[in-house]
Amino acid sequence: MNKTALREAAVGCLACLLVLALAGTAMAQDSRQMVVQKVEAMKGDLLQMSEWLYRNPESGHKETRAVEMLTGYLKKKGWKVETGLNKIADSWEPILEKAWKMKTLPTVFKATYPGQEGGPTIAFLVEYDALRGPGGKAFHGCQHNMQGPIGIGAAVALAEVMKARKIPGRLVVWGTPAEEIPPPVKAIMYDSGCFKEVDAAIMFHGGDRTTYRKAGPSGMALDAFEFVFKGKPSHASSKPWEGKSALDAVILMFNGIDALREHSEPGTRMHGVITDGGAAPNIVPERAATVWFIRHFQRPYLDMQVKRVMDVVKGATLMTGTEVTITPQGRYDNRIHVETLERLAFHYAKQYGAADPEEADPCPETTAGSTDFGTVSFNIPSLELRVKSARAGCPGHSQEFADASVSELGKSALVVAAKVEASVALDLLTQPDLLARIKKEHALLKGK
């Protein structure tokens, strides 16, 4: 067997590859130890940042103080920081404008560390928006206060090791705001070219389990549309035959989609509301409007399903002689989990003392919503690290979940997660075979 064939055989086997990745060379082990020590040395700063965010929550698009604090730390560590995304993709402009009367995303940030030439680019994604709680009071019920310190801790520690060891590659910390509210900011950022040079993306999300995900999709891809039908008004009693009812078109669309349900895969969700059904019963409605979310666990199936829905809409216009204006309102992709990456992170999580590690659930999950991280993980090999930061069964989006982020369990999860993110990124930078394998797995899953 020649050298290439040997390597092929080694990378062809997941178990072999993991051993390869985890054992590494003595040099790799030494670098990993160094990066873990650096995170440990920054622990006080990182926990302070998380606690500060917990005490100063800001909801989506208003996270100005959070951005100031997080980027201030990065600047102090020698990182170059750019704040705000001033040019967003044309397709998102009207959607953002309608939702928030905004043309830019002021609380996005990008921090880069000038690295060695060559090598891959690894992005650490961090969220920092709080939920809007009772009475409109913001609170960190989704533990996004932990993410900035984790991603920044990992990136800063790793950058110092890369410099000391002359490891080629680049690191970016992307601040991704307003995760809790539509439209999906990470999808806007992706379509606006933010992540175009990124080889792999890493983020953390708090939860009640230390686990990983098996290969496959999770979360739902979603396309949202508004349909405005235009008919012809007329007196509904004296000359109804002169009118064309836009409301009839909406009703036929609902019925058409209901007929479609039976012939759709079980993972399909189609749900709509009528936002305008006409003004008065004695006038044939000239205008009617409806908003729909169409979802599926996998983007390719969803794309096909959306075409079928559009045929139903066309049918509704033909049956009623109306016209329709269709406005996209948002697009989320499903997440894709690359098992090699997931297992690698899980290995380190266990090694660094994450609480109660458990085996993975198979993908896809049977109940799920949609997240803006989907678009990132659908297009770029990505890791959403899961280290237990709240008691088992603790409800998400609750005050208890927020409080857990600054409890002893939450604090220990934060430090473990920063070490895991840094170690995984170090492996991706120093083992081209591993990164190539992950990219290959991702491409295969995306095509499914």
Query: Considering beta carbons, is residue 145 or 379 the nearer one to Zn ion?
Result: 145
The pattern of x and - marking residues 359 through 398 that bind Zn ion according to CB under 5 A reads: ----------------------------------------
> Do residues 81 and 75 lie in contact, with contact meaning Cβ atoms separated by under 8 Å?
yes
3-class DSSP assignment, residue 37: helix
Q: Rounded to whole angstroms, how far apart are CA atoms 82 and 386?
A: 29
Closest separation between CB of residue 253 and Zn ion, Å? 33
| Closer residue to Zn ion in complex, CB, 362/369 | 369
Stretch 141-200 residues interacting with Zn ion (CB under 5 A): 142
Whole-angstrom distance, CA of residue 179 vs CA of residue 386: 17
Tokens of 369: 């919503």
Provide the minimum distance between the beta carbon of 443 and Zn ion in the complex, in angstroms, as a whole number. 27
Phi, psi of 421 (to 5 degrees): -55, -45
Q: Kind of pairing, strands 221-230 and 287-296?
A: antiparallel
- For 409, the 3-state DSSP assignment is helix
35 or 418: whose CB is closer to Zn ion? 418
Q: Pick between residue 141 and residue 243 the one whose CB is nearest to Zn ion.
A: 141
- Least distance to Zn ion from the beta carbon of 272, Å? 26
Residue 209 to residue 51: CA distance in whole angstroms: 21
| Nearest 10 degrees: Cα torsion 241, 246, 247, 250 | 130
Tell me the closest approach of the beta carbon of residue 173 to Zn ion, in angstroms.
18
Given the complex with Zn ion, which of 239 and 397 has the nearer CB atom? 397
Under a CB-based contact definition with an 8 Å cutoff, are residues 88 and 128 in contact? no
- Which has the closest alpha carbon to 287: 238, 329, 325? 325
Binding mask 221-250 for Zn ion (x = CB under 5 A): ------------------------------
Of 191 and 384, CB closest to Zn ion: 384
CB of 144 to Zn ion, least distance (A): 6
**Tokens matching residue 240:** 């109804």
CA distance 12 to 421: 25
Q: Which is nearer to Zn ion, 85 or 142 (CB)?
A: 142
Q: Fill in the amino acid letter for 87.
A: K
Residue nearest to Zn ion (CB): 142
The Cα angle at residue 394 between residues 410 and 340, in degrees rounded to 5: 65
Q: Output the smallest distance, CB 87 to Zn ion, in A.
A: 27
Supply the minimum distance, in Å, between the C-beta of residue 345 and Zn ion.
18
Size, binding site for Zn ion by CB under 5 A = 1
Query: Of 129 and 160, which CB lies nearer to Zn ion in the complex structure?
Result: 129
The contact mask relative to Zn ion for 108-147 (x = CB under 5 A, - = no) is ----------------------------------x-----
Residue 262 CB, nearest approach to Zn ion (Å) = 35
Of 142 and 187, nearer to Zn ion (C-beta) is 142
Question: Which C-beta is closer to Zn ion: that of 142 or that of 221?
Answer: 142
State the angle between helix axes of 14-23 and 339-351 in degrees (0 to 180), rounded to the nearest 10: 40
- DSSP string computed for 248-290: HHHHHHHHHHHHHHTTS-TT-EEEEEEEE--S-TTB--SEEEE
Residues 6+ apart with CB under 8 A from 439: 199, 381
Q: Which residue has the tokens 């396309």?
A: 223
Minimum Å gap between C-beta 198 and Zn ion is 21
Output the smallest distance, CB 44 to Zn ion, in A. Answer: 25
Size of the chain, expressed as the number of residues it contains:
448
SS3 114: strand
List contacts with Zn ion (CB under 5 A): 142
